[in-house]
Chain A
Amino acid sequence: MKNRDFKDPIRENRVFTFRAILFWIVVVCLTCVLAGRIFYLQVMQHDRYATASENNRVLLQPIVPNRGLIYDTNGKLLANNRASQSLNLIIERVDDVEQTLALLQSLLPITKGDLARFEKRRKQRRRPHEPIQLRTRLTEQEIAILAVNSHRLSGVTVEAELVRHYPFSKSTAHVLGYVGRINEKELKRIDPVNYSGTQRMGKLGVEKFYEAQLHGLVGFQKVEVTARGRVLRVLEREDPVPGADITLYLDSNLQDVAEQALGDRRGAVVAIDTQTGGIIAQVSQPSFDPNLFVTGIDTKSYAALRDSLDLPLFNRALRGQYPPGSTVKPFVALAGLEYGHINWAHTISDPGWYQLTKGGRFYRDWKKWGHGKVDLNLAIAQSCDTYFYELAHKMNVDDLHDFLWQFGFGQRISLDVAEALKGILPSTVWKKARTGEPWYTGDSLNVGIGQGYMLATPLQLATATAVLANRGKWLQPRMLKTIRVDKDYIDMLPATEEIAATPDDVTLKRDANWEKMIDAMESVIHGRRGTAQGIGKDVQYRIAGKTGTAQVVGIKQDEEYDIEKVKERNQDHGLFVAFAPADEPRIAIAVIVENGGGGSKSAAPVARKVMDAYLLPKLAAQAEAAISNE
């Protein structure tokens, strides 16, 4: 008790000293814990944190290569890159995103689509401080408005990017295709490194086929950045290799003429330079503005294009599969000659119909009363159906198939036109596989006049016509004229699996049949009784051609159409194939005018205009050269 009442300084001192030493040891131990922790971070985990620090500091920025330009055969720019200002938000630097968006909407037009795309991108993974695009194609005025209000818009940036532009708009949409935002499917296919900064790629047409060449190789720069993403300096730089510029055979003048000639009718024109195989015109009407797709088309406009009855997004020139109608007759006739079923002297008497058996079904000629006595030349010139019913009746359909196959029917032979369809070249095997039924002679009769099962695209018709024009010599249709490799433009197609092999040239047992057939086709235009003599007036060169009329079968009666439209859409398709000049061909052309009625009235004049536009300057130049030579 006594001890507890009085202070004991010695004992207090002893306790204190003991505790001081104890706490000092604790302090040393805890300091060692700190040292150990620092050792763990700085020595054991050094590599990890050194990498993290470097990743913080150094940003590897891809430098997007400039996309290659596309020129037409005369050097006119068909696709270029334009600087476009886009509006971006850096979320980390925006105080209140919703408020900022509302303010931006009050300052400049921002569509619901813009907002939807913005929200989608905002949810995707990205680096901190990476800008998210809200709007593209700001006008000068809009940029000025943003600048004036910049104090209220923290985290809002305007950035320049190069955006594809198609100066010819609708005119080249089906040829060039367009570039658009890379979608998830494409993302899996493309090289992630080379496309690391690229936002858009070719979706269709030339843009798609030559994507690899047009895109170029990505460059990189290592930059030092602050935590706020500000670039302090460039540490290393590897320049990108810009995409190759390419020149097409396409002639924008001719394209224009063809479009004008078609007017507002639906249809397609394909013209081929018979000396090279180059596609000099490829028109599909109606068309669309490809520039809409570059920065992202809004849902409403897209729906309007997609749902239009006129199918503006449908490339008729390459993917429109039509019954070739009478345009196939020269080829069928050549087959008949080749297999010896007919000769040039073979004559029939046409009553206006054909019967397989007496009392059987009537196969009608387009001319109700018939053509009377008809030989092969006249059968071509007058497009006598009965003559070809008889020929097809005699001919084995598989022989016909094999012969027509040589001209490219039923297959895809174009070099760099990726989306082209094959059409249908029927045979017994094909029909068995397709319908499970055997081949009937009646089927042959229909094929003989280019109806029935047979389908061909305008590109195929033009191609086959070009082969005929070249007397059997094959030149595959192609888009590319030259491509810039390094600094030189060379005439070389890139090696791609998509490119079909060149077919063998077509040879006939009797070579003279080429010239005789071409004579017959000339009489279509220039002959007194030719079906297309309407376009033969005042023509300065010889045209060999063939009209065609394809019956429309596909229209669905139960769909609600405007009565006038039904009438219009039940009309026959008008077709015309031709080449000129007949002796020294330079252009082969196929024209189809949907629901245009007879080919001679609808399609042939279009072809004439295109051929005039193409040939007259060349012939004039030739004549001039001849004069100056003398």
Chain B
Amino acid sequence: MSRDFLRQLPHASHAFQVRASFLRRLHIDGWLLILLLLLCAIGLAVLYSASDQSMATVHRQATRFGIALGVMFVFAQISPHHYRRWSPWLYSLGVLMLIAVLVLGVGAKGAQRWLEIPGLPRFQPSEIMKVAVPMALAGYFADRYLPPRIKHVAAGLVFILVPTLLIAKQPDLGTSLLICASGLFVLLFAGIQWRLIFGFAALVSACLPLFWMFLMKEYQKQRVLTFLNPESDLHGSGWNIIQSKIAIGSGGLDGKGWLQGTQSHLDFLPESHTDFIIAVFAEEFGFFGVLGLLFLYLLIVTRCFFIAARADDTYSRLLAGSLTLTFFFYFFVNIGMVTGLLPVVGLPLPLISYGGTSIVTLFVGFGMLMSIQTHKKVLPR
């Protein structure tokens, strides 16, 4: 407490206080908002090109951004204490809905991911888990002695594995990995001992062959095989990754120019406005453009780290830290996969790729981060 108090004093200039107090009353973090808006704008511009200049697509995406920003604003108003109280309930509800999806869910493209509840729009319960898992784990560990003891770690792992496996069963490998990661990030921030981390990592790598043999679906195996050797299947699944590499590589230093990318406009690049949109961006804006985009992502992540590090209590810190790393995980895996560093898992590029619910979920996370930043008691009002 005393350290926090001392840290505030030298910065308490008058001008900063006025600007901060206005946004603070709205519970908005100015820096984060500006960076996010910038990213959304870039996203819309790239989408316009990637969707073959379909204004309708851009409109739909812009509408989603609008709704998502509204949702973010609402979530920013709610104090982290409420999140902490809701955590177990939201998590339990989420798990129930995941089970419901497996039983009653609606399918698309061979995967059963959607749930239709009368009176509500169709949605994916896995989206809820993207925030519910970090919330629940943060709540669990905030109440426990930290660094966590082994039995608590084990309990935490169970909390992570249940939704992860339920989502993997749908099957939705990308999201299940994302949710698993978001839970593990809470464990990492909670101060789990390094020997446990490395021991666990060793255990997981030892289990990989079992995972391969019993859990992965044929098409998922195919993706990994294709990742290891894209040339093995030129016209099938290797095609995507080869074409995306061509798109990126042909962009060169300064790119072919906006709307000038041939790989996407001539349909060589599949999924060009969803998962592979970074290839369109890289083709049209080149290496400098990609550097700028990566820098923007890094700024957002840095700001989120800052918010997490300066949060009031352990729950907020753990939640913020997990949300931050999850956001990073999102774009790292997506870009890694499109550039051929990682196997193809269906994860979109956050705030750039075209897509519905995931955008709202992302902004819910940012709303929570803003809430954490702006509901601190120690800051002057």
Contacts and interface: CB of A to CB of B under 8 A. Distances in A.
A37 interface: yes
Contacts of A232: 266
B294 A35 contact: yes
Given A23-B188, A57-B262, A37 B339 contact: yes
B189 A19 contact: yes
A228 interface: yes
A41 interface: yes
Contacts of A226: 266-268
Contact of A42 (B145, B282, B294): B282
Interface string B175-211: 0000000000000110100000000000000000000
How many A residues are at the interface, by size bracket?
35 or more
Nearest to A56: B268
A34 B253 contact: no
Given A31-B297, A41-B248, A56 B262 contact: yes
Interface in B274-296: 282, 286-287, 290-291, 294
Given A12-B191, A27-B301, A38-B287, A53 B247 contact: yes
Contacts of A35: 290-291, 294
Contacts of B243: 56, 227
B112 interface: no
Contacts of A15: 146-147, 191
A20 B250 contact: no
Interface in A1-56: 4-7, 9-13, 15-17, 19-21, 23-24, 27-28, 30-31, 33-35, 37-39, 41-43, 45-46, 48-50, 52-54, 56
A503 interface: no
A267 B299 CA distance: 94
A225 interface: yes
B308 interface: yes
Interface stretch (B33-41, B82-90, B328-336): B328-336
A416 to B, nearest CB: 48
Interface residues of B, number: 49
Contacts of B246: 49, 52-53, 56
B315 to A, nearest CB: 11
Contacts of A5: 145
Contact of B250 (A12, A21, A49): A49
B252 A42 contact: yes
Contact of A46 (B250, B263, B298): B250
B145 to A, nearest CB: 6
B341 to A, nearest CB: 5
For A23, A33, A57, A228, the residue with the greatest tally of chain B CB atoms inside 10 Å of its CB is: A23
Nearest to A55: B246
B325 A42 contact: no
Interface string A476-499: 000000000000000000000000
B339 A41 contact: yes
Nearest to A224: B266
Contacts of B191: 12, 15-16, 19
Interface of B is mostly: helix
Contacts of A159: none
B266 A41 contact: no
A399 B73 CA distance: 117
Given A27-B325, A43-B253, A34 B267 contact: no
Given A34-B335, A53-B263, A46 B309 contact: no
B245 A9 contact: no
Interface string B223-244: 0000000000001000000010
Contacts of B365: none
Given A12-B146, A16-B191, A19-B189, A34 B249 contact: no
Most chain A CB inside 10 Å of its own CB: which residue of B188, B266, B328, B335:
B266
Nearest to B248: A41
A38 B321 contact: no
A49 B263 CA distance: 11
A92 B235 contact: yes
Given A16-B191, A23-B305, A56 B248 contact: no
A34 B332 contact: yes
B54 interface: no
A38 B268 contact: no
A49 B249 contact: yes
A42 B287 contact: yes
B186 to A, nearest CB: 11
A50 B249 contact: yes
Interface string B307-332: 01100011001100100010010001
B298 A27 contact: yes
A19 B298 contact: no
Interface string A220-232: 0000111110001
B248 A38 contact: yes
A241 to B, nearest CB: 31
A534 interface: no
A10 B313 CA distance: 10
B146 A20 contact: no
User: Which of A27, A31, A38 has the most B CB atoms < 10 Å from its CB?
Assistant: A38
Contacts of A21: 309
Contact of A53 (B262, B287, B297, B332): B262
A24 B302 contact: yes
Given A38-B290, A43-B252, A49-B246, A227 B266 contact: yes
A47 to B, nearest CB: 9
A16 B248 contact: no
Contacts of A56: 243, 246, 262-263, 266, 268
Contacts of B328: 27, 30
A31 B249 contact: no
A128 interface: yes
A7 B141 CA distance: 11
A30 B250 contact: no
B367 interface: no
A272 B263 CA distance: 64
A4 B339 CA distance: 46
A266 B328 CA distance: 89
A12 B287 contact: no
B348 interface: no
A7 B146 contact: yes
Contact of A24 (B287, B291, B305): B305
Given A4-B145, A7-B145, A227-B267, A52 B321 contact: no
A363 B354 CA distance: 103
B251 interface: yes
A92 B234 CA distance: 12
Nearest to B261: A53
Nearest to B234: A128
B142 to A, nearest CB: 9
A11 B191 CA distance: 10
Contacts of B290: 35, 38, 42
Contacts of A37: 336, 339-341
Nearest to B249: A49
Given A34-B335, A42-B290, A52 B266 contact: no
Given A42-B249, A49-B245, A16 B266 contact: no
Nearest to B332: A30
Contacts of B339: 34, 37-38, 41
Interface in B128-153: 145-147
18 contacts: A7-B146, A17-B309, A19-B188, A19-B189, A20-B305, A20-B308, A27-B325, A33-B341, A34-B332, A37-B339, A42-B248, A42-B249, A50-B249, A50-B250, A53-B247, A53-B262, A56-B246, A227-B266
9 nearest A-B residue pairs (beta carbon): A49-B249, A53-B250, A15-B191, A227-B267, A42-B287, A227-B268, A41-B249, A57-B262, A226-B266
Interface of B: 3, 145-147, 188-189, 191, 235, 243, 245-253, 262-263, 266-268, 282, 286-287, 290-291, 294, 297-298, 301-302, 305, 308-309, 313-314, 317-318, 321, 325, 328, 332, 335-336, 339-341
Given A16-B191, A38-B335, 5 more contacts: A7-B145, A15-B147, A16-B317, A19-B191, A227-B268
